[in-house]
């Protein structure tokens, strides 16, 4: 496969962009990124003219794929032609907020922002203001954007910044605990309950191999928050409007968070973030409350139109049924491939998300009970060896994925996530033929 133009563009980019990219994960592919010229349904065409099945889907926002329905395209063009933005309110942002509040169980009020990171930053600030406490509990291996309060690693007793540029004095207010560990959550509340403002948690750890919760885990965390007066903050930047359909993951799991953060799909492929939740909390944002939060581009009319019309189309046209069915086909097909060729590996995912984690498990492959992606089912023969938290993925064969497997998949005409940790996403633009081609590529590349 010819990739000369991608190589040349990367060479040029290294002179003017740090690492040749504008987001760190884009530099992960070996030996250099694939530069994209355009999208087409469930495919992309790179700058060398190669057509590739695309399971990256913009790292999640492109639920519709790369071809917008006519209604979405018309709404975007209408608002773009009337002027880029105004710095004043518009009707479409009200309509978008009304749609979200009608469909997401916990959301009574919403504040739109410009990215998932901005949403989680604002949610943490709000939780601290509401409770008048400082400490935030996060999950080890979780990801909540490029913000100081959550770029923290270590454990409860020894939290430390996970990147240079963050003072240790910031990290002391963050308490990292293992995902799916009720005992650890009880212990952190026993030790720090009076100081915990909130628990910031992803319904599914989707940046670290797709780790699903064990039965009862989210309910136990919610009960502890209620008992100690802390706020439960669900980060649905990835899962929002992808897992659980219009009700999001909180509807699927039956959990009622105090605050939720959104991004990606809620903007229809344009830059966006949002903080939603109970009115008593969200209305504490300025100007109705004392928690300052503002943004020049927040509620941008083009983004609002794209997000609203995307969600309307999904609700009316059965988009989630289509993408979830293809996701199931991929996971079931991968389970068969892995059982034959790499029984130590683990198929994970749910709804329209899928991943093959290069675990180093011994013994039997995944059982029939987990044939459609790992569900933390104790009856599975591989239960003890499957990832229970995102940090388990770091012990997988990450170099093999990056240096051998992903480049071979690209040569087969299939783009999968840039590294072992990121998720793969199904879109409305994908077809059964794309699934078949992808499964065949896995057979050839594992």
CATH assignment of the domain containing 258: 3.40.640.10
H or E stretch at 278:
none
Task: Tell me the sheet residues that pair with 354.
Answer: 349, 424
pLDDT of residue 104 exceeding 90:
yes
176 and 232 share one domain: yes
The encoded tokens of residue 108 equal 């009574």
140 and 173 share one domain: yes
pLDDT of residue 132 exceeding 90:
yes
Please check whether residue 82 is in contact with residue 55, taking contact to mean a CB–CB distance below 8 angstroms: no
In the three-class reduction of DSSP (H, G, I as helix; E, B as strand; rest coil), residue 166 is classed as coil
**Residue ranges of E strands in 50-155:** 51-54, 109-113, 135-139, 152-153
Instruction: Report DSSP state, residue 215.
Output: T
Mean pLDDT across the stretch 285-313? Answer: 97
Residue 85's Cβ-count burial label (10 Å; 0-12, 13-18, 19+) is: middle
Confidence of residue 381 (pLDDT cuts 50, 70, 90): confident
pLDDT in tens, 383-395: 988 899 999 999 9
At 362 the pLDDT is: 86
**Which residues, other chains included, contact 355 with Cβ-Cβ below 8 Å and sequence gap of 6+?**
209, 210, 347, 348, 349, 417, 423, 424
20 and 147 share one domain: no
254 and 344 share one domain: no
Segments in 193-242 forming alpha helices (H): 217-228
Tally of structural domains, the chain: 2
At 223 the pLDDT is: 98
**Which residues, other chains included, contact 374 with Cβ-Cβ below 8 Å and sequence gap of 6+?**
210, 211, 212, 346, 347, 348, 349, 366, 380, 386, 387
Alpha-carbon distance of 357 to 208, in angstroms, equals: 9
In the chain, what percentage of residues exceed pLDDT 70? 100
CATH of the domain at 362: 3.90.1150.10
148 and 195 share one domain: yes
Q: What is the pTM of this model?
A: 0.96
Mean pLDDT across the stretch 301-312? Answer: 98
Could you say which of 317, 347, 365 is where a domain stops? 317
Could you say which of 270, 291, 317 is where a domain stops? 317
Average pLDDT, the chain: 96
Alpha-carbon distance of 274 to 107, in angstroms, equals: 11
pLDDT in tens, 413-445: 999 999 999 999 999 999 999 999 999 999 999
274 and 397 share one domain: no
113 and 253 share one domain: yes
At 364 the pLDDT is: 83
pLDDT of residue 355 exceeding 90:
yes
pLDDT of residue 230 exceeding 90:
yes
pLDDT in tens, 212-223: 999 999 999 999
pLDDT of residue 153 exceeding 90:
yes
In the chain, what percentage of residues exceed pLDDT 90? 91
Among all chains, which residue has been given the structure tokens 């594992």? 446
Alpha-carbon distance of 147 to 410, in angstroms, equals: 32
Q: Domain of 409?
A: 4-67+319-445
Alpha-carbon distance of 342 to 263, in angstroms, equals: 35
Among all chains, which residue has been given the structure tokens 């793969």? 424
58 and 88 share one domain: no
Choose among 313, 314, 278, 303: nearest CA to 93: 303
82 and 191 share one domain: yes
169 and 256 share one domain: yes
pLDDT of residue 27 exceeding 90:
no
Alpha-carbon distance of 90 to 251, in angstroms, equals: 29
89 and 197 share one domain: yes
**Which residues, other chains included, contact 417 with Cβ-Cβ below 8 Å and sequence gap of 6+?**
55, 56, 355, 423, 424
Choose among 218, 217, 270, 210: nearest CA to 239: 210
Could you say which of 273, 298, 317 is where a domain stops? 317
Torsion, CA 275, CA 280, CA 284, CA 288, rounded to 10: 110
pLDDT of residue 131 exceeding 90:
yes
pLDDT of residue 302 exceeding 80:
yes
At 363 the pLDDT is: 76
pLDDT in tens, 161-217: 999 999 999 999 999 999 999 999 999 999 999 999 999 999 999 999 899 999 999
Confidence of residue 382 (pLDDT cuts 50, 70, 90): confident
Among all chains, which residue has been given the structure tokens 């070996």? 30
**Which residues, other chains included, contact 109 with Cβ-Cβ below 8 Å and sequence gap of 6+?**
97, 101, 276, 277, 278, 279, 282, 283
9 and 107 share one domain: no
Catalytically annotated residues: 143, 235, 264
Residue 442's Cβ-count burial label (10 Å; 0-12, 13-18, 19+) is: buried
């Amino acid at each position: 496969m010819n990739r000369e133009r991608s190589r040349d563009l990367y060479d040029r980019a290294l002179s003017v962009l740090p690492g040749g990219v504008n987001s760190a994960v884009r530099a992960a592919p070996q030996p250099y990124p694939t530069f994209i010229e355009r999208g087409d349904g469930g495919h992309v065409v790179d700058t060398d003219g190669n057509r590739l099945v695309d399971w990256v889907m913009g790292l999640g926002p492109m639920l519709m794929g790369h071809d917008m329905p006519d209604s979405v395209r018309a709404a975007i063009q209408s608002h773009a032609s009337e002027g880029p933005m105004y710095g004043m309110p518009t009707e479409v942002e009200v309509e978008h907020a009304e749609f979200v509040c009608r469909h997401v169980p916990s959301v009574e009020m919403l504040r739109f922002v410009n990215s998932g990171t901005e949403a989680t930053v604002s949610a943490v600030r709000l939780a601290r203001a509401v409770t008048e406490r400082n400490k935030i509990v996060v999950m080890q291996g979780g990801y909540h954007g490029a913000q100081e309060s959550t770029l923290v690693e270590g454990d409860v007793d020894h939290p430390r910044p996970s990147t240079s540029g963050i003072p240790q004095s910031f990290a002391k207010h963050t308490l990292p605990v293992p995902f799916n560990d009720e005992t650890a959550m009880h212990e952190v509340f026993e030790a720090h309950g009076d100081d915990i403002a909130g628990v910031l948690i992803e319904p599914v750890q989707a940046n670290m191999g797709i780790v699903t919760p064990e039965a009862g885990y989210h309910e136990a965390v919610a009960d502890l928050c209620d008992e100690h007066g802390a706020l439960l903050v669900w980060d649905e930047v990835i899962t929002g409007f992808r897992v659980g359909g219009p009700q999001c993951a909180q509807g699927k799991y039956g959990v009622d968070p105090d605050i939720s953060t959104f991004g990606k799909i809620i903007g229809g492929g344009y830059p966006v973030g949002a903080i939603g939740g109970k009115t008593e909390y969200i209305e504490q944002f300025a100007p109705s409350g004392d928690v300052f939060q503002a943004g020049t581009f927040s509620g941008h009319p083009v983004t609002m139109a794209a997000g609203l019309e995307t969600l309307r189309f999904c609700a009316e046209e059965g988009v989630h049924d289509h993408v979830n069915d293809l996701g199931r086909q991929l996971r079931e097909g991968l389970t068969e491939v892995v059982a034959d060729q790499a029984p130590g590996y683990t198929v994970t995912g749910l709804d329209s998300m899928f991943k093959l984690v290069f675990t180093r498990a011994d013994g039997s492959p995944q059982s029939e009970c987990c044939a459609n992606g790992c569900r933390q089912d104790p009856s599975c023969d591989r239960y003890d060896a499957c990832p229970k938290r995102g940090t388990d993925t770091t012990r997988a064969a990450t170099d093999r994925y990056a240096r051998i497997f992903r480049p071979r998949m690209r040569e087969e005409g299939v783009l999968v996530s840039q590294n072992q940790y990121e998720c793969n996403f199904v879109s409305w633009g994908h077809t059964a033929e794309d699934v078949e081609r992808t499964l065949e590529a896995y057979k050839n590349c594992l």
